[in-house]
Amino acid sequence: MIPVIDLFAGPGGLGEGFSTYQIGEKCPFRVKLSIEMDLLAHKTLSLRAFYRHFIHSGVPVPPEYYLYMAGKTGRGDLFEKYPEAANQAENEAICAELGGDKWPDNFFDHKITDALISRKQWLLIGGPPCQAYSLVGRSRMLGALKDKDGCLVDEGRQFFEDHRHKLYEQYLRIIAKHWPPVFVMENVKGILSSKLNGGFIFPAILKDLRNPSQIAGNNQSQEHHTYKTVSFVTGREPEKNNNEFLIRAEEYGIPQARHRVIILGIRDDIHSKINDSILSLQKCGVEITVSDIIGGLPAIRSEISRRNVTNADGWKDYLESVRSQSWFNILDSDVRQIIDQSIQKRRKITLKMASRDKGRDLPQSFRQWYHDDNLINLSHHEARKHMSSDLYRYLFVSAYGIARNNSPRLKDFPEELLPNHQNAKPGGELQNFADRFKVQLWHKPASTITSHISKDGHYFIHPDPVQCRSLTVREAARLQTFPDNYYFEGNKTQQYHQVGNAVPPLLARQLAAIVYEIFLGIA
């Protein structure tokens, strides 16, 4: 058994991938400690730790777990009935902030030492929060600090001194204190181009990761090591091209064009033992599409917010009234025809705003991963509310996507459907909002599921114009490759946020196969 310590764990995507990697009937990796500051993500982590207790013990997951997912029993009742699993979950998942004022460094050091139980071969995984590195996040945060003339107030000090820039130093400190044989560090693509105090961040981070005690201080440990920082894509340490650390998830069987920087760190003495023999990710060869993964889920309808429309007939009537809109008649005939077809289909069916039906079977190659025969029903498959003006936009965008096999840019919109924002109007800076509304396409991988999905669904419009809505939490979770028995705690907004911040578990499981071979080489 190889213990895993998961920092900045989020809802547990990395940990799920490593803990489900199998050799025969055995799972060699076991998450022994996960640390997450967000209360709801922590609750999700601890519930999954509870679930894994039974999986790794070789006994059936109790029916009460599935009753809890179905909303038919409480979490307290579930944990009280199975105290051993509850105790393991409580010890494994810690709600605390690394680098915060409340928890001193030695609190985390003691937790790590206790979790490892003197084992020398173990794995550190995780990544610091993404917001300060994200291209979109950086632009948004800096924009908020500009004065009316577009100049940064106080040279943007509030942004550049944001503690999230340096949270990776907590990762470094733990490496320099505990010297894991292997670590896996994940972050957003934007980290490759992000700057701090005028210099690129990423080369500095690599330098620090290769010699962590230089930053963490020599007082962390009597040991001293360096690390090789290896690309999962090539199986080697890049000499010049740091883009080799970038993993394009859709190339490896993930139904989503998610591009993330993931670094494989190997301690110097371990690297010398394996003679630079490191496997690399193997491309899938075929794209896994939105249709493959969510096409079989039950059809549901959107709900109209801020209007007195609560029943299905009123919803149908509102969408059918699109024919009376002036912009409808100027649409190209192929788009107009698809909208007409959606109206005809909508008349023949009655859709609810949520469904617990498990839907049609997945393709056989994915059934074993997503499906669980013990599920009573499907969780998290409920449409969010949309403003009436947005419903017309969703209808247009989804019909356009089918007609053109592409998502329209704002320049393709009828003027009446453009968002009520000065830069989105003709003559405005359209490029800043060019893909403000994006439909997912049935026959392509999804675009990146991000935490922004918690704010609105404009970038994540369902491809079916009949349903006229954005993705549900379950659909987003499936595109992130979370199994259907993975339950996200909190309200809908909090669930979306957790899903968007996660590493796809099926990608993490492929990383686990590479890491496992390293441990085999030093056994």
The one-digit pLDDT tens for each residue of the chain (523 residues) are 999 999 999 999 999 999 999 998 899 999 999 999 999 999 999 999 999 999 999 999 999 999 999 999 999 999 999 999 999 999 999 999 988 788 998 999 999 999 999 899 999 999 877 545 444 454 554 455 455 555 645 544 554 455 555 577 788 889 999 999 999 999 989 889 887 767 788 888 888 899 988 766 655 566 789 999 999 999 999 988 999 999 999 999 999 999 999 999 999 999 999 977 899 999 998 999 999 999 999 999 988 876 555 677 888 999 999 999 999 999 999 999 999 999 999 999 999 999 999 888 888 889 999 999 999 999 999 999 888 889 999 999 999 999 999 999 988 999 899 887 655 555 555 555 567 789 999 999 999 998 888 888 899 999 999 999 999 999 999 999 999 999 999 999 999 999 999 999 999 999 999 999 999 988 7
> Tell me, what amino acid is at 207?
K
> What pLDDT score does 216 carry?
61
Which three-class secondary structure state does DSSP give residue 196? Answer: strand
Concatenated DSSP letters for 271-294? HHHTTT--------SSPPPHHHHH
Closest Cα partner for 409 from 433, 425, 441, 386?
A: 433
Torsion angle of the four alpha carbons 476, 479, 485, 489, in this order, in degrees rounded to the nearest 10? -30
Concatenated DSSP letters for 138-149? HHHHHHTTB-TT
Query: What span, in angstroms and rounded, lies between the C-alpha atoms of 71 and 479?
Result: 24
With a CB cutoff of 8 Å and minimum separation 6, the contacts of 206 are: 229, 242, 263
> What pLDDT score does 66 carry?
97
> What pLDDT score does 64 carry?
97
The answer to whether 497 and 8 have CB atoms below 8 angstroms apart is no
Take residue 202 and report the two structure tokens written for it.
Answer: 């990423």
Supply angle C-alpha 42, 258, 335, rounded to 5: 115
Take residue 406 and report the two structure tokens written for it.
Answer: 């592409």
Query: What span, in angstroms and rounded, lies between the C-alpha atoms of 50 and 34?
Result: 13
